Amino acid sequence: MEIVLYIHILSATAWVGGSLLLFALGIFLRDKEAQKNVYKHLGPLYGYFESFWLITLWITGFILYEHHGFSGVFKYAYDSQLSQTMMQKVYLVMFLTFVTIIHLIIAIKTHQKDRSKFLTVISRGSSLLIFLLNFVVLWFAISVRSQL
Ligand code: HEM
């Protein structure tokens, strides 16, 4: 099972690392033309890259979930701190995945096209939300692990 945990943690570093890098680019790359070029070339690759690691996180996370018997923990010890922390983590990741899908749909539909103000706000807002949620999910991940 170590290999699954290894892939889970590797996926977490790639997923969170990717989002940190793109967020930093958005803030520090002030030249509008350079920014447009970066998003034009990096955008699609970044989308596939992040989607791949998020799917891997779900698959390996689910295997670890079953391995640690979380179905039983929910059934027999629903009120325990462990089941509550795990449940919060899964809800957070579901929300994170939902926001990511919205962000991806806007990115695919408007790639290299002019965006309405509304879609720009939703796209930037979702990217900020994904960025912030990652820190919270990581906190819950460590909290689950320390209770196992
Ligand atoms: C963005 C999504 C996710 C991130 C960033 C993430 C991150 C992590 C990290 C960093 C750890 C290791 C914590 C440590 O060793 O201190 C971990 C462990 C774990 N994760 Fe996730 N995770 C994600 C999604 C999921 C999902 C969707 C599930 C379940 C369906 C899941 C289930 C678990 C379990 C059960 C462990 C403990 C594994 C063990 O210690 O053997 N994770 N996660």
Least confident segment among 1-5, 49-53, 108-112: 108-112
**98-107, pLDDT tens digit by residue?**
999 999 999 9
How many angstroms does the Cα of residue 112 sit away from the middle of ligand 1? 35
Q: Whose CA is nearest to atom 37 of ligand 1?
A: 145
Q: What is the pLDDT of residue 33?
A: 87
Asked whether residue 30 carries a pLDDT value surpassing 90, the answer given is no
**38-96, pLDDT tens digit by residue?**
888 888 899 999 999 999 999 999 999 999 999 999 999 999 999 999 999 999 999 99
Helices (H) and strands (E) in the chain, counts: 5, 0
Pocket of ligand 1 (CB under 6 A): 5, 8-9, 12, 15-16, 57-58, 61-62, 64-65, 68, 90, 93, 96, 137-138, 141-142, 144-145, 148
Contact 131, 19 (CB under 8 A): yes
* Interior angle at CA 4, CA 74 and CA 9, nearest 5: 90
How many angstroms does the Cα of residue 8 sit away from the middle of ligand 1? 6
Q: What is the pTM of this model?
A: 0.91
Q: What percent of the chain has pLDDT over 70?
A: 100
* Terminal-residue alpha carbon distance, the chain: 14
Q: Whose CA is nearest to atom 38 of ligand 1?
A: 64
pLDDT bracket for residue 37 (50, 70, 90): confident
Contact 61, 94 (CB under 8 A): no
pLDDT bracket for residue 115 (50, 70, 90): confident
More confident residue, 143 or 29: 143
Ligand 1 atom with the shortest distance to the CA of 97? 1
Residue 115 has phi, psi (to 5 degrees) of -105, 145
Q: Burial-class residue 32 by CB neighbours within 10 Å (0-12, 13-18, 19+).
A: exposed
Q: Which residue is it, tokens 């539909």? A: 109
